Chain A
């Protein structure tokens, strides 16, 4: 019990993920700033932002909203993200080997933050939040199937294994999955799913500042908004980590390999940042078509290739 609580709260759980996630968020913002000829924030800016929202800013509740749900949604978002993160990081950092079928559990847990955002937005009673929530729901419906197909591809490639530990083991004894043709396709599809899960441009239409002024988060302020920010930091860490597990060989935490692990993580985040800085936001209809037609097609091709062992 004590060990599990330590896993959940400190390492590799809540605290560890929040700190790494905050640093990655800084990296994302810094790269964005450099691409745009700006100077960028100092290293600790994400933490300043978080603590300012948490401790200094007042919390304003929507007068006509469902306050209980409105306030609990961000907490659930943090819990869902943390839980998924723990199950991803335990095998990834070679702490324990996880449990049988954890890939399926993680897949479900990773949808929780998005769903809680929708809940929180709908309970706020703001029309702009409602538009944002409807967009987020449509977005979830479009990318989840694609993400599931990526999982199927991984399961086939790893020899019908649904354990993260087995998937990492299969890659470390053989070649990383990304080293094959189907693996590259799966990686491309997974990156776009991540982009949508993290609600980054071109898939940031649920928030779309210049259209619906923050959309799903428009009514949030103070501590609840700090929680949402925290869940975003955590997702920015665990989703690239998940990609590392399923496609990029996992990690070995010894000697030079630690550097490799960090580089892989940073490379994935860098890729996400660059995509977000070189594209306009697409419309929700276009996003649905993009995932339903093109990404699903690509994923299915990858699965077929994987079946033939390519």
Chain B
């Protein structure tokens, strides 16, 4: 009871004093000395929490780093390569390497090269291993080996790409499930997460894409 009364007196005393400004410890100098370790700890934790928030928001809206899984882009990208992907405001262009998701095929994202964009026509000749876009044969120095007929048959090989869509293929043509595969097909550009810009790791694979 006596303690309650003393506390009430202290509260009255504190009420009578002027209010501190924002950002200033109302406890004054003494508490600042005693609490400096706690304040430093708090400020460090706040910086770490803030950095985590900024990193995740950057990864969500601006750019991200992903790890390549699977052989479909060999010999441009290899299993476990770490690549930098730009997402903000990206619109797919022919020749770009893109990360995309076709959820009806698999939940994880896949990485492929854009062969044709909306309005272009794609024709694939498996006899010569040539890809034609709008009647022009593509010079594909990046493919791993000459293209053969895939195991699932001809699939999608003569098609006009609708507006807002892209036709993608892996650089390792004979080990890639891509737009030729009936379950993937033409890809809506809204399924594209971003464009691969560079291989970051391992360092001996470092290159711009």
Q: Do A and B bind each other?
A: no
Q: Which B residues contact A (CB, under 8 angstroms)?
A: none
